[in-house]
Amino acid sequence: MLLEIDNLYTSALDDKNKEILKGLNLKINKGEIHVIMGPNGSGKSTLANTIMNSPKYIINNGTIKFDGEIINDMSTDKIAKKGIFMSFQTPEEIPGISVAHFLKTAKTSVSDEKINLFHFSKQNEENMDKLKINKDYINRDLNVGFSGGEKKKNEILQLLTLNPKLAILDEIDSGLDVDAIKIVSKGIKMFKNENNSVLIITHSTKILKELDVDYVHILKNGKIIKSGDGSLAKKIEEEGYNE
For residue 177, the model assigns a pLDDT of 87
Q: Which helix (H) or strand (E) holds 30?
A: none
For residue 158, the model assigns a pLDDT of 96
Give the pLDDT mean for 66-87. 95
**177-212, pLDDT tens digit by residue?**
889 999 999 999 999 999 999 999 998 888 888 899
At residue 7, does pLDDT exceed 80? yes
CA geometry: angle at 35 spanning 185 and 15, to 5°?
120
In this prediction, residue 243 has a pLDDT band, given cuts at 50, 70 and 90, of low
What percent of the chain is modeled with pLDDT above 70?
99
Give the pLDDT mean for 211-222. 94
CATH number of 3-94+165-239: 3.40.50.300
Say which residues have a Cβ less than 8 Å from residue 178's Cβ, sequence separation at least 6: 206
Sign of the Cα torsion 26, 28, 177, 125 reads positive
CA–CA dist 39, 20 (Å, integer): 13
The domains of the chain are located at 3-94+165-239
Give the pLDDT mean for 25-44. 94
Provide, for the chain, the percentages of residues in helix, strand and coil under a 3-state DSSP scheme, each rounded to the nearest 5.
35, 30, 35
For residue 174, the model assigns a pLDDT of 84
In this prediction, residue 176 has a pLDDT band, given cuts at 50, 70 and 90, of confident
Q: Among 104, 110, 107, 59, which Cα is nearest to 83's?
A: 110
For residue 138, the model assigns a pLDDT of 94
- 141 forms beta bridges with 98
Between residues 149 and 28, the one the model is more confident about:
28
Helix (H, G, I), strand (E, B) or coil at 182: helix
Q: In whole angstroms, how large is the CA radius of gyration of the chain? A: 18
- Whether the CB-CB separation of 51 and 170 falls below 8 Å is answered with no
For residue 18, the model assigns a pLDDT of 85
CA–CA dist 230, 51 (Å, integer): 24
The residue length of the chain stands at 243
CA geometry: angle at 117 spanning 116 and 118, to 5°?
95
CA–CA dist 136, 43 (Å, integer): 38
At residue 113, does pLDDT exceed 90? no
For residue 36, the model assigns a pLDDT of 96
Between residues 234 and 70, the one the model is more confident about:
70
pTM of the model: 0.94
Cα 65 to Cα 52, 78, 82, 115, 235, distances in angstroms? 12, 14, 12, 30, 31
CA 9 from chain center: how many Å?
A: 20
Least confident piece of the model among 110-114, 154-158, 181-185: 110-114
For residue 112, the model assigns a pLDDT of 78
Least confident piece of the model among 13-17, 40-44, 54-58, 89-93: 13-17
